Structure 1
């Protein structure tokens, strides 16, 4: 990425992943995207975190007024018809209304009241949309750090996100250092985001990871996705 559009940190992040039948998730995707399948399933992740020190390139993180706020994504994993993998967001909950400007390229941001807090050996997340609608409450207990397996990396690391607007698929690239991952157990999980997105009950209990976060996130500009290269 030669020049990012934004820099940020993604901190205090939990990954809650459920497996679903691929055809169930495929029905929620736009034309041009296919579910990325692992272990015979499509995976949907609920990922609450703190979006920290959001700023344009060249602006120092310590500058007063650089925003930090809570965000929660409901996402799945896809492949573009050009073969490139990435994320598709089923919903984006955010405590900073300015982020809804990304709706211009189809990002499904919903402003709301969100919180992230730590106490003792637990991390708590909660959120609800303004005006009512879906909400969530999650309390996790982070465990020991782990050496990520191939599946752990597959579930947590993607380097582009897709959106759809004006009849086109758009691609937003992202770069950051590897996630430091830990095991985690769920004490409380109450959410209606999956139901609001059109999903039934998942196939099994979730796979859960926790990360203290990554501080050097570079988000590129959103551009129309390139088609599959033609054979030479």
Structure 2
């Protein structure tokens, strides 16, 4: 699929949903639940034409003031559970690092598209790849606090073994999200592809709260491994959040592209 194809206006496109701190729609049913803890977001501007060629058919780059972004996101996954059941024993807690892009579809829904997701639990990797077509990769991941400093590190176990790292000093002082922060984090679903069809998976979560942090070091080699031009400058946005409780609903396939 070429960038030119994705850059065309979607036929009969509905109005684009607003960027809101709460989900614009309730879930009909909760498919699974989880908590994202100690979340660190790094973002850089990305070429919309490059991004367009990496999105599922029927989706388009989401823009803020004419720009789109690539995100490198680190967090601790906790309390993974199916529907109303208790958290899964043994596999419901792990560290994750993902590379994500920002998308919209013809129904006006904003979302994210994952280009890679690294985690150190093989069972979630296998299930997410088979059931949802998500590009999870079994990797060696580490997260550790050193006083107020938080370190994340990830390295693939096979093939080119891409790496990622972030090292931040969290001051604990609350900060209000800026408009760009909202565009990057107020996301109420993901777009992906399964069985040659694109789909949208909705989510809801508690409101984001952010704390000031200083970026000490980073390694975004995994961005190049995800098919994007690697960043060479400091990220334009660095965010830390203590975390949110998240629920995911049922997936819905997108209308076929003309």
TM-score, scaled relative to structure 1: 0.90
Q: 1:64 to 1:36 in 2, by over 3 A?
A: closer
* Corresponding position of 2:168: 140
What secondary structure is seen at the aligned counterpart in 2 of 1:23? helix
* Corresponding position of 2:86: 60
Q: Distance in 2 between matches of 1:95 and 1:222?
A: 25
Contact 2:28–2:250 (CA under 8 A) maintained in structure 1:
no
What secondary structure is seen at the aligned counterpart in 2 of 1:10? strand
Given the alignment, which residue of 106, 121, 126 partners 1:81? 106
Q: Distance in 2 between matches of 1:86 and 1:118?
A: 31
Given the alignment, which residue of 165, 168, 192 partners 2:194? 165
What secondary structure is seen at the aligned counterpart in 2 of 1:98? helix
* Corresponding position of 2:146: 119
Moved more, 68-77 or 163-172: 163-172
Moved more, 217-226 or 154-163: 217-226
Q: 1:26 to 1:96 in 2, by over 3 A?
A: same
Q: Which runs of 4+ in 1 moved over 3 A?
A: 63-66, 201-204
Q: Distance in 1 between matches of 2:214 and 2:120?
A: 25
Contact 1:20–1:203 (CA under 8 A) maintained in structure 2:
no
Q: Which runs of 5+ in 1 are unaligned?
A: none
> Cα deviations across residues 161-215 of structure 1 (Å, max 9, x unaligned)?
011122210111111111111232211111311111222244852110000001x
Contact 2:91–2:124 (CA under 8 A) maintained in structure 1:
no
Note the 1:34-53 alignment, pairs <5 A: 34-53=60-79
Contact 1:117–1:123 (CA under 8 A) maintained in structure 2:
yes
TM-score, scaled relative to structure 2: 0.81
What secondary structure is seen at the aligned counterpart in 2 of 1:178? coil
Given the alignment, which residue of 218, 225, 238 partners 1:208? 238
* Corresponding position of 1:102: 128
Q: Distance in 2 between matches of 1:203 and 1:44?
A: 13
The structure with more strand, counted as a fraction of residues: 1
Contact 2:43–2:238 (CA under 8 A) maintained in structure 1:
yes
RMSD over aligned CA atoms reads: 2.0
Q: Does 1:128 align with 2:155?
A: yes
Q: Which runs of 5+ in 2 are unaligned?
A: 1-26
Q: Does 1:8 align with 2:34?
A: yes
Contact 2:76–2:96 (CA under 8 A) maintained in structure 1:
yes
Q: Distance in 1 between matches of 2:149 and 2:216?
A: 9
Contact 2:56–2:191 (CA under 8 A) maintained in structure 1:
no
> Cα deviations across residues 41-89 of structure 1 (Å, max 9, x unaligned)?
211110110110111222235x854621111111011111222110111
Note the 1:26-41 alignment, pairs <5 A: 26-41=52-67
Q: Distance in 2 between matches of 1:196 and 1:65?
A: 30
